[in-house]
């Protein structure tokens, strides 16, 4: 994921609305003495797992829809993960490639047992269709075949996903430069790694190449820790829950600086404590802190990417 790392650093070096405070990065690293608290994947107990290909199908569909929950204050990622899990437990064919291509908005709501329209519902349906169609066309209908064809390489899997499924192409243009963040593609790799505990469909020899997943929770945690500093206009917009325009400099800077800050944290932990941490582990720690802190205000961007 060199493209993510390099483009995030490029943005961080030119950023004007968001700054990474390296002194605060150092303070946090010293405070935890290089020991990032271990958070178990599925600490919430909400995901489907059967140790086989159906779990891979579940995780791929989950991450195809893993974005933008905040416009509905009662909806969260948990509803999606547990809704899809229950749907699969009731009907093992619910996420088959042909079924994915035919869901309508109301049927998707019904599948998730959600009583009203989902945020950006028409995009969610479009992405489901895209996943079903391309899985059928190129991977015999199974996400497990997509994973197998990556040959245990996280970078190859992300390359395959973004080549075959346009809905995962989480790119932005910033000051004329292409920025790659690939949040949902990377989180799918992390979910495989976490669910299968680094074995079988979750075995990746280059898992350390993955960065954090630039969503709307981790930046809020980094800001709370003092690691990200926002300019006054941006601070006001976020604290007053105003929407941040997708693709704006502010939005790209928030996401890219989050990736960059955690890469710096990781480097510092390595330098000071001689530990090689995975960004995935830092991400899950930060994310779990964020979702347990209801008081955090996060940036609000209507986006299909996170
Ligand atoms: N950086 C990062 N972002 C993550 C996740 C996850 C879930 N990962 C699962 C994997 C193992 C664990 O046991 C987790 O269950 C969701 N999100 C993002 O959060 C936001 C949802 O927030 P709220 O509206 O409050 O539900 C939304 O952008 C969503 O895409 C993560 O791990 N890292």
Q: Say what the ipTM of the complex is.
A: 0.98
Using one digit for the tens of pLDDT, what is the confidence trace for 195-218? 999 999 999 999 999 999 999 999
Cβ of 215 less than 6 Å from ligand 1: yes
Is 215 one of the annotated active-site residues of the chain?
yes
- Which one is catalytic: 191, 215, 281, 283? 215
Among candidates 260, 229, 249, which has minimal Cα distance to 177? 249
Q: Count how many residues are written for the chain.
A: 306
Q: Is a pLDDT exceeding 90 seen at residue 43?
A: yes
Give the pLDDT confidence of 3-14 residue by residue, as tens digits.
999 999 999 999
Contacts (Cβ under 8 Å, ≥6 apart) of 153: 204, 205, 206
| CB-ligand 1 contact for 287 (6 Å cutoff) | yes
Q: Quote the pLDDT of residue 294.
A: 83
From the CB of 285, is ligand 1 less than 6 Å away? no
pLDDT attached to residue 12: 98
Ligand 1 within 6 A of 42 CB? yes
Q: Give the pair of three-digit tokens for residue 221.
A: 């945690």
Q: Render pLDDT for 269-291 as a digit per residue (tens, 0 to 9).
A: 999 999 999 999 999 999 999 99
Counting from 1 in the atom list of ligand 1, the atom nearest the Cα of 212 is 1
Spacing, Cα 58 to ligand 1 middle (Å): 15
pLDDT digits (tens, 9 = 90+) for 78-130: 999 999 999 999 999 999 999 999 999 999 999 999 999 999 999 999 999 99
214 lines ligand 1 (CB under 6 A): no
Q: Among 124, 211, 217, 256, which residue has the most ligand 1 atoms within 8 Å of its CB, making it the best to mutate?
A: 217
Q: Where are the alpha helices (DSSP H) in the chain?
A: 2-14, 22-31, 53-64, 77-90, 97-100, 105-112, 121-139, 143-148, 154-164, 183-195, 218-224, 232-239, 249-273, 279-292
d(CA 291, CA 306): 15
């Amino acid at each position: 994921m060199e493209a993510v790392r390099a483009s995030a650093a490029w943005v961080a070096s030119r950023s004007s609305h968001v700054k990474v405070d390296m002194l605060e990065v150092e303070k946090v690293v010293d405070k935890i003495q290089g020991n990032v608290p271990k958070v178990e994947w599925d600490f919430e107990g909400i995901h489907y797992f059967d140790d086989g290909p159906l779990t891979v199908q579940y995780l791929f569909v989950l991450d195809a829809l893993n974005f933008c929950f905040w416009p509905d204050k009662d909806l969260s990622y948990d509803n999606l993960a547990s809704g899809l899990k229950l749907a699969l437990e009731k009907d093992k064919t619910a996420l088959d490639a042909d079924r994915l291509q035919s869901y309508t908005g109301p049927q998707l709501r019904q599948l998730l047992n959600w009583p009203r329209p989902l945020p950006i519902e028409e995009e969610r349906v479009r992405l489901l269709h895209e996943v079903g169609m391309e899985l059928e066309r190129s991977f015999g209908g199974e996400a497990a075949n997509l994973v197998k064809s990556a040959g245990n390489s996280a970078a190859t899997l992300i390359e395959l996903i973004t080549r075959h499924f346009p809905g995962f192409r989480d790119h932005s243009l910033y000051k004329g430069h292409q920025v790659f963040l690939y949040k949902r593609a990377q989180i799918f790799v992390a979910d495989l790694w976490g669910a299968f505990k680094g074995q079988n469909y979750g075995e990746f020899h280059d898992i350390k190449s993955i960065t954090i997943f630039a969503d709307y929770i981790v930046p809020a945690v980094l800001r709370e820790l003092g690691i990200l500093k926002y300019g006054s206009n941006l601070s006001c917009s976020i604290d007053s829950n105003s929407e941040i325009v997708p693709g704006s400099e502010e939005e790209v800077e928030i996401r890219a600086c989050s990736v960059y800050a955690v890469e710096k944290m990781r480097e510092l932990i390595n330098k000071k404590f001689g530990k090689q941490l995975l960004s995935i582990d830092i991400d899950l720690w930060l994310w779990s802190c964020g979702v347990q802190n209801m008081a955090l205000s996060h940036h609000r961007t209507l986006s299909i990417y996170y």
